[in-house]
Chain A
Amino acid sequence: MEFVNESQEKIKSDLLTVNMGPQHPATHGVLRVEIKTDSEIVSEAIPHIGYLHRCMEKHSENLDYRGVIPFTDRMDYLAAMSMEWGYSLAVEKMLGTEVPERAEYLRVIIGELQRIASHLLFYGVYAIDLGAFSPFLYAFQDREEILRLFEEISGARLLYNYIWIGGVWNDVDDDQLRRISKFCDKMEENMKKYHSLVGMNKIFRERTANVGVVNEKMAYQYGATGAVLRGSGVKWDLRKDRTYGIYDKFDFDVPVGTGEMGTLGDCWDRYDVRVREVFESIKIIRQALEGIEAGPIMGKVSKIIKPPKGEIYMRTECPRGELGYHLVSDGKAKPYRLKVKSSCFTHVSMLGELGKGQMIADFVATIGSIDIVLGEVDR
Chain B
Amino acid sequence: MSSEVVDFLNREVSAAGAKLMEVEAGDAPVVVEAAAIKDVCFALRDSSELSFEALQVISGVDYDESIEVNYMLASFSKNKEVIIKVILPKDSKDAVPEIESVCDVWKAADFQERETYDMLGVKFNNHPDLRRILCPDDWEGYPLRKDYEVQDTYLDMEVNPAHKINQGDFDFMTKAKLDSSEPKKITGSWKGHVSTEVADALKRKMDSLKSAKSE
The chain A residues found within 8 Å of chain B, CB to CB, are 49-50, 53, 55, 57-58, 93-96, 220-223, 229, 234, 236, 241-242, 307-313, 315, 322, 324, 326-329, 336-337, 339, 341, 345-346, 348-349, 353, 378-379
A93: which B residues are within 8 A, CB to CB? 26
- A220 B24 Cβ-Cβ under 8 A: no
- A336 B61 Cβ-Cβ under 8 A: yes
Task: Name B53's closest neighbour in chain A (CB-CB).
Answer: A220
* Contact residues, B58-117 vs A (CB, 8 A): 59-62, 70, 72, 74, 76, 79, 81, 83, 106-108, 110-111, 115
Task: Name A311's closest neighbour in chain B (CB-CB).
Answer: B26
A57: which B residues are within 8 A, CB to CB? 119, 144
Query: CA–CA, A307 to B29, complex, Å?
Result: 17
Task: Name B59's closest neighbour in chain A (CB-CB).
Answer: A339
- A222 B107 Cβ-Cβ under 8 A: yes
- A220 B83 Cβ-Cβ under 8 A: no
- A312 B111 Cβ-Cβ under 8 A: no
Query: CA–CA, A41 to B76, complex, Å?
Result: 35
Closest Cβ of chain B to A332, distance in Å, is 13
A378: which B residues are within 8 A, CB to CB? 134
Q: B35 near A: Cβ within 8 Å?
A: no
A313: which B residues are within 8 A, CB to CB? 27, 56, 70, 72, 81, 83
Q: With A326-B59, A328-B61 in contact, is A310–B135 under 8 Å at CB?
A: no
A324: which B residues are within 8 A, CB to CB? 56-57, 72
Chain B residue total in the interface (Cβ 8 A): 35
- B108 A311 Cβ-Cβ under 8 A: no
Q: Which of B29, B60, B76, B143 contacts A311 (CB 8 A)?
A: B29
Task: Name B108's closest neighbour in chain A (CB-CB).
Answer: A223
- A58 B55 Cβ-Cβ under 8 A: no
Interface of A is mostly: mixed
- A349 B135 Cβ-Cβ under 8 A: no
- B110 A349 Cβ-Cβ under 8 A: yes
Interface of B is mostly: mixed
Task: Name B107's closest neighbour in chain A (CB-CB).
Answer: A221
A339: which B residues are within 8 A, CB to CB? 57, 59-61, 70
- A221 B106 Cβ-Cβ under 8 A: yes
A379: which B residues are within 8 A, CB to CB? 134
Q: B188 near A: Cβ within 8 Å?
A: no
* Contact residues, B26-41 vs A (CB, 8 A): 26-27, 29
A-B contact pairs, 27 of them (CB 8 A): A50-B133, A50-B134, A53-B134, A55-B143, A58-B144, A94-B26, A220-B54, A221-B106, A222-B107, A223-B74, A223-B108, A234-B76, A241-B79, A313-B27, A315-B56, A315-B74, A324-B56, A326-B59, A326-B72, A328-B61, A336-B61, A339-B57, A339-B60, A341-B59, A345-B115, A353-B107, A378-B134
Query: CA–CA, A311 to B24, complex, Å?
Result: 9
- A326 B143 Cβ-Cβ under 8 A: no
- A349 B108 Cβ-Cβ under 8 A: yes
The chain B residues found within 8 Å of chain A, CB to CB, are 23-27, 29, 53-57, 59-62, 70, 72, 74, 76, 79, 81, 83, 106-108, 110-111, 115, 119, 133-136, 143-144
Task: Name 19 extra pairs, CB < 8 A, besides A315-B56, A315-B74, A339-B60.
Answer: A57-B119, A222-B106, A222-B108, A223-B54, A229-B76, A309-B23, A310-B26, A310-B27, A311-B23, A311-B26, A311-B27, A311-B83, A313-B70, A336-B61, A345-B115, A346-B111, A348-B111, A349-B108, A378-B134
Task: Name B58's closest neighbour in chain A (CB-CB).
Answer: A339
- A326 B70 Cβ-Cβ under 8 A: yes
B133: which A residues are within 8 A, CB to CB? 49-50
B79: which A residues are within 8 A, CB to CB? 241-242
Closest Cβ of chain A to B116, distance in Å, is 9
Query: CA–CA, A341 to B55, complex, Å?
Result: 11
A50, A223, A236: residue with the most chain B Cβ atoms closer than 10 Å: A223
Closest Cβ of chain A to B42, distance in Å, is 14
B54: which A residues are within 8 A, CB to CB? 220-221, 223
B27, B72, B83, B111: residue with the most chain A Cβ atoms closer than 10 Å: B111
Query: CA–CA, A95 to B26, complex, Å?
Result: 9
- B134 A49 Cβ-Cβ under 8 A: yes
Query: CA–CA, A346 to B114, complex, Å?
Result: 12
A336: which B residues are within 8 A, CB to CB? 61
Query: CA–CA, A315 to B55, complex, Å?
Result: 13
Closest Cβ of chain A to B154, distance in Å, is 14
Closest Cβ of chain A to B183, distance in Å, is 25
Closest Cβ of chain A to B67, distance in Å, is 11
- B29 A349 Cβ-Cβ under 8 A: no
- A337 B27 Cβ-Cβ under 8 A: no
B108: which A residues are within 8 A, CB to CB? 221-223, 346, 349
Task: Name A229's closest neighbour in chain B (CB-CB).
Answer: B76
- B27 A312 Cβ-Cβ under 8 A: yes
